[in-house]
Amino acid sequence: MKQSFYDLNYPDLEAVISQNNLNPSVAAILFNWHYKKKESIQCRDNISKSSLAFFEQYFDFSLPEINLVHESSKDRTVKFLFKLKDNHKVETVLIPFNNKYSICLSSQVGCAMNCSFCFTGEQGLKRNLATSEIVGQFLQAWRWLASNRPGEERILNIVFMGQGEPLHNFDAVKKACEIFLSQRGTSIGVQKITISTAGYIPGLKRWSQETPGVNLALSLHSPFTEKRNELIPINKKYPLAEVLTYIDAIPLQKKQFITYEYILIKGFNDSPDDAKKLGALLAGKRAYINLIPFNPFPGSRYESPDLDEVENFKAVLDEFRIPTLIRGTKGDDVLAACGQLNSKN
Ligand code: SAH
């Protein structure tokens, strides 16, 4: 099988070119064509016939196939179902803000974390995604915007909050980030990429050495051990206190924060006591809290909180002077909101 072109970061591509004695300028031309112009057809200008023939012979330029597109009727959220070469499917969501978008990428087919509030977890882990399948979600969504909402093909933020645990597929996610960040590639700013983790310590251990400065989000969900164990079973193996020691050691740039995500579940973790304990845990840290009202899915065992409880919870956190955002639910009419992604069917 041919190797995917989209598995190569820029230094990889340069290495291929020099090993095969091709003209070094081909690297810049190919990256420009595929990642800046994002064209689907091969670039035939400025590139010799022999170089072109080489890449056509040894590299695959196809992208994950768009199997279904759901457009929300409430907002401009778009959910894509992608079909991969082995017929596995993953979902990707475009979340609108003004006339721009954030993209929520999947990192695995299914997920091994088995969190009790998450629809994806019910699928179990099928396999990791390759870098090309991660980058491919972005390129296909961009092209879809260019043809369906011309003028709006601006994807300014990338969040790894779709299916999968990104730190459990560290190498492929890291390389995808390198391509996104590359000035030769899509050239997305380092502050515009966020990787969200359930607290997978083997990945956190590699984070500070190897991840090129992108933002980190931790799915915290409860400061209490018992409750967090129920919500995020890997908390038994990788307890929150230990997770936080790794996160606290990550060097942050000026104005950079760690985002702590907190799902609010009615009658479970939405009381003022929960908020106080959370506030005490995070006070003094470079923290930003994202409160996410639980999004129900078919067969889910939890309920969404009342709006009053959400407001009260935030008011407690305000007393600790921790910046807190209540995340609105976008795209929930097409099951595109957080935790509603499940591509089994
Ligand atoms: N595995 C990573 C990334 C995927 S989840 C992680 O755990 O962070 C992305 C965010 O969606 C997480 O904060 C997750 O906890 C949240 N989420 C999952 N299911 C949800 C649901 N049913 N309602 C609201 N948020 C949910």
Task: Please work out whether the CB of residue 203 comes within 6 Å of at least one atom of ligand 1.
Answer: no
Ligand 1: atom nearest CA of 104 is 9
Instruction: Give the CATH number, domain containing residue 293.
Output: 3.20.20.70
- Set 111, 118, 177, 338: catalytic member: 338
Q: Which residues are within 8 A (CB) of 284 and not within 5 positions of it... i.e. 6 or more apart?
A: none
Ligand 1: atom nearest CA of 340 is 22
How far apart, in whole angstroms, are the C-alpha atoms of residue 267 and residue 83?
Answer: 38
The per-residue pLDDT for range 61-120, each reduced to its tens digit, is 999 999 999 998 888 999 999 999 999 999 999 999 888 999 999 999 999 999 999 988
Residues 129 and 237 in one domain: yes
How far apart, in whole angstroms, are the C-alpha atoms of residue 10 and residue 31?
Answer: 8
Residues 259 and 304 in one domain: yes
Domain boundary among 45, 60, 75: 60
Instruction: Give the CATH number, domain containing residue 45.
Output: 1.10.150
Residues 132 and 191 in one domain: yes
Residues 256 and 147 in one domain: yes
Residues 231 and 101 in one domain: yes
52 in a structural domain: yes
Q: Do the beta carbons of residue 52 and residue 59 sit within 8 Å?
A: no
Least trusted range by pLDDT, from 27-36, 252-261, 285-294, 327-336: 327-336
Is 338 annotated in the active site?
yes
- pTM to 2 decimals? 0.94
Q: Quick one: pLDDT at residue 38?
A: 74
Per the structure, the complete domain to which residue 15 belongs is given by 3-60
pLDDT of 40 higher than 80:
no
Question: What's the mean pLDDT in 283-289?
Answer: 96
The per-residue pLDDT for range 173-190, each reduced to its tens digit, is 999 999 999 999 899 999
Q: Quick one: pLDDT at residue 190?
A: 93
For the chain, the domain total comes to 2
**Smallest CA separation from ligand 1 atom 21, residue:** 339
304 in a structural domain: yes
Residues 51 and 157 in one domain: no
Is 91 annotated in the active site?
yes
How far apart, in whole angstroms, are the C-alpha atoms of residue 162 and residue 340?
Answer: 9
Residues 53 and 99 in one domain: no
44 in a structural domain: yes
325-329 — which CB contacts under 8 Å span 24+ positions?
325/288, 325/289, 325/290, 325/291, 326/291, 326/293, 327/290, 327/291, 327/292, 327/293, 329/293, 329/295
Q: Quick one: pLDDT at residue 119?
A: 87
341 in a structural domain: no
Helices (H), 110-266: 131-148, 170-181, 201-210, 225-231, 240-248
Task: Please work out whether the CB of residue 231 comes within 6 Å of at least one atom of ligand 1.
Answer: no
Task: Please work out whether the CB of residue 134 comes within 6 Å of at least one atom of ligand 1.
Answer: no
Domain boundary among 44, 60, 76: 60
**Helix (H) or strand (E) run with residue 307 in it:** helix 307-319
Helix, coil or strand: residue 208: helix
Q: Quick one: pLDDT at residue 120?
A: 84
**What does pLDDT average to over the chain?**
92
How far apart, in whole angstroms, are the C-alpha atoms of residue 114 and residue 118?
Answer: 8
Task: Please work out whether the CB of residue 292 comes within 6 Å of at least one atom of ligand 1.
Answer: yes
Residues 20 and 91 in one domain: no
